[in-house]
Structure 1
C-alpha cells in the first residue's frame, strides 16, 4: 500500500507458507496424532514431505503472481 504494490500476493505467500507443514510431524496437530498412532518415523515424514514441499513451493511461487499480480 505504501510502496505502490498490492499486498495481496505477499499475504497469500505467507498464508500458503504457514499451511505447508509436510516435512515434520510437529508442524500440525493432525500430523502429530497420526505420527504417534501409526508408528511412523521422522524419516518417513522427511522422505514423503520433501518432494511434496518442493512441488507445493513451485506451484505456489508460480501461481500466486498469476492470480494476484503485483
Structure 2
C-alpha cells in the first residue's frame, strides 16, 4: 500500500508541476484553455458545471485507483 501511495503522490506532483511545462513547450493547450474552448467564456453558469465535472472526474479516478489497489492485495 505504501508503494501505491508513493506512486499516487509522485503522479500528482508530476501532473501538477512537470506536465504543464512539457505541454507548454510542445505547444499543446493547457487544461484551462481546453475547458475555455469547450464551455466558452467563464460566467456564472459554466463555472459550476466545470467544477462539478472536474470533481466527478477526480472522484471516479480516485475510486477506481483504490478499488484496483484493494484487488492487488
The reply to whether TM is greater than 0.5 is no
Which structure is higher in helix share? 2
TM-score category by the smaller chain?
A: 0.3 to 0.5
Given the two structures, how large is their TM-score scaled by the length of structure 1?
Answer: 0.45
Larger RCO, structure (CA 8 Å, separation 6 or more): 1
